[in-house]
Amino acid sequence: MQRGVTLPELILVLAILGLLTGIAVPRFQRLADSLAVQRAALEVVSAHNRARMSAVLQSRVLELTIRADTLAIRVPGAPAYLWHAVGPAFDGVALTGPTRALTFSPVGMTMGLSNASYHLSRGAATRSVIVSRLGRVRVAP
């Protein structure tokens, strides 16, 4: 009596594995895209909240810069950042929206042109981060 599998059995198992992989991989990719976009949106929101609270706690004007490659907080005109993190592009998420800096007053209100909508996308997943002049931030699908 011999042990092992025959060639037709091996081909059948490989064909079934190939079909299952072909069905499962696109679903996991959509899930990964959705999670990456949601994470990037939450990072933009948390950077906004951090800049606002830092301006209040430090009682001074601060700028938040949101770009595809970096999120940064600094004192206007200062060369060094008080805080910075990688932007959405680090996770392969595309960011479209204004590249201007949002300026926060010592009372936490934004000054100047502060309305903004940032659109984040990767694959079929998209989110929008909408910032109001009064400092409210919301994430829309």
Query: What pLDDT sits at residue 37?
Result: 96
Query: What pLDDT sits at residue 111?
Result: 83
Please count the helices (runs of H) and the strands (runs of E) in the chain.
Answer: 1, 9
Which residue in the block uniquely carries the two structure tokens 């960011």?
95
Query: In this structure, what are the phi and psi dihedrals at residue 128, rounded to the nearest 5 degrees?
Result: -125, 135
Query: What pLDDT sits at residue 22?
Result: 86
Tell me the pLDDT band of 29, cut-offs 50, 70 and 90: confident
Report, as an integer, the average pLDDT of 17-23: 87
Query: What pLDDT sits at residue 1?
Result: 63
- The whole-model pTM stands at 0.80
Average pLDDT in the chain: 90
Query: What pLDDT sits at residue 112?
Result: 78
Report, as an integer, the average pLDDT of 61-71: 93
Annotate 76-93 with b (16+ C-beta within 10 A) or e (fewer): eeeeeeeeeeebbeebeb
Query: What pLDDT sits at residue 99?
Result: 79
Q: Does domain 7-140 have CATH number 3.55.40.10?
A: yes
